């Protein structure tokens, strides 16, 4: 798989497009005034403890208190789960502490208590950040977890010989200071490189501890890398063909960053100097626009539609223009199978999280349903976000969940419509026009003889009345025996109008 990374920097924001085999796989945005806080470590102060929810709200210096669930906090040194957003799985462990039952949160925390926490999820919508006391510090080759005893290897390294080699390295690197997970970037790396990364992260953790001891609460103790540096750290690999940047200062900064952590990749970093904007030159802007559309066409002529609601995202599969060659069942099966690849691509590109319902076209054969389900499971393996997929139901529905760690692309780039207030629909010209005609007729009861009625309304509705319903206006004037004057106003909402008399 050929991967290119395009980075566009302005004083206001950083935009990063990750293109895999000419297809836009991920699009990341970080606004200077809206920089994410996921990964940051804070010294917080407990604001409220809620025994009924087994959770607490913690002040970390944000507008809204952060949410801490009991499962994300423990005063004991314990074997914690992999960090949120991890691409990894635990395949072996170091020595475990003596087992203990998790205490209720009201026995672990009290109001006003100061604790060290890390942001696991950025604030999303009306919700504050989600935090954890299980700290994780990601490096180039491993993720160091000072409050854990787990040691593991990325599930994306599937070569048995390489996994065995890395396991031996990991066992030789065991430390009493915490556990760690070897990342996908470890593949082919030497023991010395991995040890150097671990030494850097353990030193970083000691610095965090020392700073946290004397800091007031709430306060920021450690800030994670910015979007550009994180992307280079997490996505830059042997599959990467080029990293192309359009900002000289950022280009030099990333050259230094790569020189310190992965010097062999420095020749792949290129400065873009042409006058045409970088995203336009490489055709990314057009792909971003398509990533915001409701309907996505498949190569066969079928399509999927993506509808987001407050509770879930619904994805519908349709045959569209695809008619097939042999039978209806084969046409449906091929459309569904092709849709699995596009669905996974769109989930990743749009960063859709939470509950997802996929409505595949009904298939009569159980074997075909099984093949489509397996194709979906296989496609989802490329997605780093944690997912859980249930089998296709008799109605052709697949229920799944996908980890949500940041705002979706839609929420990042779009805002609520001032007309429909987020419903996605507004009243049609016909509906508004007929409402106006009824309102005029109602107004007749308050009119004096000889008065004329003036209607101010949106230009599109005015044009519709003049062009399509001119006969209705004439009929109404004769019925109420009053002259009707139509005045278009750009300042009026599509659905609004004003009726007066002169």
Provide the CA 496 distance to its chain's centre, in angstroms.
35
Query: What confidence score (pLDDT) does residue 125 get?
Result: 72
Q: What residue spans define the domains of the chain? A: 3-33+229-284, 72-114+123-218, 292-413, 429-501
Q: How far is Cα 80 from Cα 58, in angstroms, rounded to an integer?
A: 21
CATH of 429-501, one of 3.40.1260.20, 3.20.20.370, 3.40.30.10, 3.40.630.30: 3.40.1260.20
pLDDT in tens, 113-153: 999 999 998 887 778 899 999 999 999 889 999 988 888 89
pLDDT tens for 20-34 read 998 999 999 998 877
Question: What's the distance, Cα to Cα, between the start and end of the chain in Å?
Answer: 72
Q: Give yes or no for residue 254 having a pLDDT over 80.
A: yes
pLDDT of residue 85 exceeding 60, the answer is no
Assess contact for 104 and 71: CB atoms under 8 A: no
Q: Answer whether residue 170 shows pLDDT above 50.
A: yes
Q: Give tens-digit pLDDT for 294-338.
A: 999 999 899 999 998 888 999 999 988 887 677 888 899 999 999
The alpha carbons of the chain give a radius of gyration, in whole angstroms, of: 29
- What pLDDT, in 10s, does the model give residues 194-239? 998 999 999 999 999 999 998 999 999 999 899 999 999 888 888 8
> Does residue 345 have a pLDDT over 90?
yes
Token code pair at residue 431? 């509906």
Cα–Cα distance measured from residue 2 to residue 20, given in angstroms and rounded to the nearest whole number: 6
CATH topology of domain 3-33+229-284: Nucleotidyltransferase; domain 5 (3.30.420)
Least confident of 176-190, 396-410, 437-451, 481-495: 437-451
Please state, for a pLDDT cut of 90, what percent of the chain lies above it: 55
Are β-strands 41-50 and 219-222 bridged in parallel, bridged antiparallel, or unpaired?
antiparallel
Evaluate whether 3-33+229-284 and 429-501 have a shared fold: no
Q: Is the pLDDT of residue 456 over 90?
A: yes
Give backbone dihedrals phi and psi of 184, rounded to 5 degrees, phi first: -60, -35
Contact between residue 58 and residue 45 where contact means Cβ atoms under 8 Å apart: yes
Are 337 and 371 within 8 A, CB to CB?
A: yes
The three-point CA angle 290-352-21 to 5° equals: 50
**Distance in angstroms (rounded) separating the CA atoms of residues 120 and 50:** 20
Across 205-349, where does the E strand assignment appear? 219-222, 240-245, 269-271, 295-297, 303-308, 312-318
Q: Is 73 or 448 the better-scoring residue by pLDDT?
A: 73
* Residue pointed to by tokens 């057009």: 286
pLDDT for 101: 64
pTM for this structure?
0.77
Nearest C-alpha neighbor of 251 from the set 5, 502, 499: 5
- Say if residue 447's pLDDT is above 80: no
pLDDT in tens, 41-70: 999 999 999 999 999 999 999 989 999 999
Q: What are the CA-CA distances from residue 449 to residues 483, 487, 501 (Å)?
A: 11, 22, 11
What is the model's pLDDT at position 411? 85
Q: Check residue 489 and give its pLDDT.
A: 92
User: Residues of the chain with pLDDT > 70: what percent?
Assistant: 94
- Pair 100, 167: CB distance under 8 Å: no
The residue-averaged pLDDT of 258-268 equals 88
Per-residue model confidence (pLDDT) at position 154 = 87
3-class SS of residue 419 = coil
3-state helix vs strand vs coil in the chain, percent to 5:
35, 25, 40
Q: Tokens standing for 69?
A: 């669930």
3-state secondary structure 81-141: CCCCCCCEEEEEECCCCCCCCCCCHHHCCCCCCEEEEEEEECCECCECCEEECCCCEECCC
């Amino acid at each position: 798989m050929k991967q290119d990374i395009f980075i566009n920097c302005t004083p206001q924001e950083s935009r990063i497009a990750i293109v895999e085999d000419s297809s836009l796989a991920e699009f990341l945005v970080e606004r200077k005034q809206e920089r994410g806080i996921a990964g940051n470590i804070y010294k917080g102060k407990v604001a409220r403890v809620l025994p009924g929810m087994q959770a607490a709200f913690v002040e970390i210096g944000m507008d809204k208190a952060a949410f801490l669930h009991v499962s994300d906090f423990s005063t004991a040194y314990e074997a914690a789960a992999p960090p949120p957003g991890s691409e990894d799985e635990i395949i072996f462990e170091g020595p475990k502490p003596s087992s203990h039952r998790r205490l209720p949160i009201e026995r672990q925390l009290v109001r006003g208590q100061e604790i060290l926490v890390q942001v696991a999820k950025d604030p999303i919508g009306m919700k504050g950040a989600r935090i954890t006391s299980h700290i994780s510090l990601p490096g180039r080759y491993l993720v160091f977890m000072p409050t854990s005893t787990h040691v593991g290897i990325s599930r994306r390294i599937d070569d048995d010989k390489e996994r065995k080699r890395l396991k031996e390295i990991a066992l030789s690197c065991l430390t009493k200071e915490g556990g760690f997970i070897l990342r996908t970037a470890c593949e082919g790396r030497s023991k010395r490189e991995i040890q150097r990364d671990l030494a850097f992260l353990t030193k970083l953790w000691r610095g965090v501890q020392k700073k946290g001891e004397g800091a007031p609460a709430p306060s920021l103790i450690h800030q994670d890398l910015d979007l550009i540096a994180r992307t280079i750290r997490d996505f830059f690999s042997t599959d990467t063909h080029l990293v192309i940047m359009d900002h000289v200062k950022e280009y030099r900064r990333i050259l230094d960053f790569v020189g310190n952590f992965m010097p062999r990749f420095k020749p792949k970093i290129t400065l873009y100097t042409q006058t045409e904007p970088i995203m336009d030159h490489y055709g990314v802007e057009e792909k971003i626009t398509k990533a915001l559309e409701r309907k996505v066409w498949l190569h066969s002529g079928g399509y999927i539609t993506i509808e987001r609601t407050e509770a879930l995202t619904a994805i519908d599969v349709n045959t569209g223009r695809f008619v097939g060659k042999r039978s209806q069942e084969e046409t449906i099966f091929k459309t569904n199978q092709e849709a699995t690849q596009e669905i996974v691509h769109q989930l990743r590109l749009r960063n859709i999280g939470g509950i997802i319902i996929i409505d595949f076209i009904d298939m009569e054969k159980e074997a075909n349903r099984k093949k489509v389900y397996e194709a979906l499971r296989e496609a989802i393996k490329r997605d780093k976000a944690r997912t859980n997929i249930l089998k296709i139901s008799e109605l052709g529905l697949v229920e799944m969940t996908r980890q949500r760690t940041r705002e979706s692309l839609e929420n990042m780039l779009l805002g609520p419509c001032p007309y429909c207030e987020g419903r996605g629909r507004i009243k049609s010209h016909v509906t508004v026009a007929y409402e106006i005609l009824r309102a005029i007729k109602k107004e007749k009861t308050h009119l004096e003889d000889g008065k004329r009625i003036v209607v101010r309304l949106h230009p599109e509705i005015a044009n519709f009345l003049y062009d399509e319903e001119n006969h209705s206006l004439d009929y109404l004037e004769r019925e109420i025996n009053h002259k009707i004057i139509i005045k278009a106003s750009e300042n009026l909402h599509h659905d609004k109008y004003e009726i007066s008399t002169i």
